[in-house]
Chain A
Amino acid sequence: MKTQKTTKATYQVPVGPIHPALKEPVMFEFEIDGERIVDVDVSLGHVHRSVEWASRRRNSVQVLYLAERICGICSYCHPIAFARAVENAVGIEVPDRGEYLRIIHGELERMCSHMLWAGVAAHEVGFDSVLFLTWQMREKLLDLTEYLTGNRITKGITMIGGVRRDITKDMFPKIFETLNFFKDNFEKLRHVFLDDKTFKLRCQGAGILTYEDALKLCAVGPTTRASGVKKDVRVDQPYFAYSDLDIDYITPDALTGEINGDVYDRIIQRLLEVKQSIDIMEQTIDKMPSGEIVAEPKIPKLLSTLKKAEGEGIGLHEAPRGEVIHYVKLEAGSDNPYTWKVRAPTYNNILPWIPMLKGEQIADIPIVAASTDPCMSCTNRVTIVDKEKKYMLNKEQLHRKSVEKTRRMMK
């Protein structure tokens, strides 16, 4: 028998730009050997909408609404970070009541986003009944948002120097009713996610991000806190009124006692953050001072102040996915900003995908990618290129592969 000197070649699997795990287009190229992933390459830019360039033709109040439409789920954090950047550049002081009101809306959005994520993560594993349970609970939060701001998603509540609407005493009963509903049902959620054997089998040990990698790659948000790195803008820098409240960094060892940095830890991290948000909202309502809600109620006067102002500033905020930073440079004599740089939190969480996915199986791609909660906007098909033939796997087939693995593991 002739001995042939050949080695097994690795396949190149492009996954994307339409994403298997969540709602956004990201292009991965995996090199796989059998079912294991050997190397990962990421490419972006499939929904680039030139938002930063569009701000050159709009004045600062119009840019607030442009910023709101950068993302649907984090539609509160981008206008707030922009407003903070302008306030830092010009030197506008926000009144105390305005700062407290901003916290309430921010924490409400954080709870909505984590509930949505919990449902999607459960769907990726194949546990559809939890998807419906969490989204049913989320409907109560959206009803509360509509009552406080006028709309479910694009809230339009931010103004440079404060907020646009007040929360009066007669609105408090509805807020307390929703918070009590969540406190009563939190135990049910925790029992389903953390005690269930399905989640433990699929998620423990998958997609590990070590402490050193999370530090070196500058990861942000619950992704990095689940690996043990203590980075949280609310606790780091005193902004809004977080410095008056009693909050601290949350890492998974508050519940389990050890930190592994895998998908299971990220689930624990986000559930603990929902509990923290309920606590923060109650403290805020308790300590709310009275006074003005916005620094300058007459908007033509605000616009003329901004036209004469000159300077640069940065605005930070802790979005549900991590740290959002906006940089604004204003020039005297023009009402449009000179430069506006937006950095959404997912951009820093892309490089950690590479160490997380190496060594995993293809069927783990949806759950690992979904565990970092990417937010870029939209999804796509998967093309698998074999040596001779090409065949397409669309989103349903990839999702089905992930569900089949769950069934195999349950046996």
Chain B
Amino acid sequence: MRFSMLPTLLSQMFKKPFTNKFPAKYTPSSTTNFLQAVSKGKAKIIPPVETPYGFRGKIEYNKEKCTGCQLCIKVCPCEAIEFKPEEKKIKIYLSRCCFCSQCNDICPFGCLTMSNEFLLADADKYSKDLIVE
């Protein structure tokens, strides 16, 4: 039959769209004005969809437990971790990290965990937000 998709298409007209309209329903004409309006309370940001448990987002580092064994450096596939010899602690560059969480698995003291933060865009590769130490 020729019009096999027609029932599906017609029913789609009455359903709510699947897209979650994050951050706003329509694109604001000026981003800075929109953000100022949000801080004053005049506009609202629609939140993003909830991430599931076990989502691999930005890495979190517990500095006290770290002993400087360098096992995480050995196993990182992107060479994103650097050792600081004077302090015996590490420095992680998020611009190179591929979020595989292999360093979490190998750390014998459990210093590294993955949070669920994923809004990490920045203009500068080496800015303060993208270096964890």
A195 adjacent to chain B (CB < 8 Å)? yes
**Interface readout for A46-73 with B: 1 if CB under 8 Å, 0 if not?**
0000000000001101101110000000
Q: Is the CB of B77 within 8 A of A58?
A: yes
- Residues from chain B with Cβ under 8 Å of A197 in the complex: 1-2
Q: Name A's interface SS.
A: helix
Complex Cα distance, B1 from A334, in Å, reads: 64
- Residues from chain A with Cβ under 8 Å of B71 in the complex: 300
Q: Which of A172-198 contact B (CB under 8 A)?
A: 188, 191-192, 195-198
Instruction: Pick the interface stretch among B30-38, B40-48, B101-109, B120-128.
Output: B101-109
Complex Cα distance, B4 from A337, in Å, reads: 54
A165 adjacent to chain B (CB < 8 Å)? yes
Q: Is the CB of B74 within 8 A of A303?
A: yes
A247 adjacent to chain B (CB < 8 Å)? no
Complex Cα distance, B6 from A192, in Å, reads: 10
Q: Is the CB of B100 within 8 A of A65?
A: yes
Complex Cα distance, B99 from A197, in Å, reads: 46
- Residues from chain B with Cβ under 8 Å of A129 in the complex: 5, 8-9
Given contacts A299-B105, A300-B106, contact A150 B55 (CB under 8 A): yes
Known: A129-B9, A154-B98, A165-B54. 14 other contacts (CB 8 A): A62-B77, A65-B78, A127-B5, A150-B54, A150-B101, A151-B55, A151-B56, A151-B99, A188-B8, A192-B5, A195-B1, A196-B2, A197-B2, A299-B105
Return the 9 tightest CB-CB contacts between A and B, nearest first: A65-B77, A62-B77, A150-B56, A147-B52, A299-B106, A129-B5, A156-B100, A196-B4, A150-B54
Which residues of B are at the interface with A, using a C-beta cutoff of 8 A? 1-2, 4-5, 8-9, 18, 52, 54-56, 71, 74-78, 98-102, 105-106, 114
Which residues of A are at the interface with B, using a C-beta cutoff of 8 A? 58-59, 61-62, 64-66, 127, 129-130, 133, 136, 139, 146-147, 149-151, 154, 156, 164-165, 188, 191-192, 195-198, 299-300, 303, 410
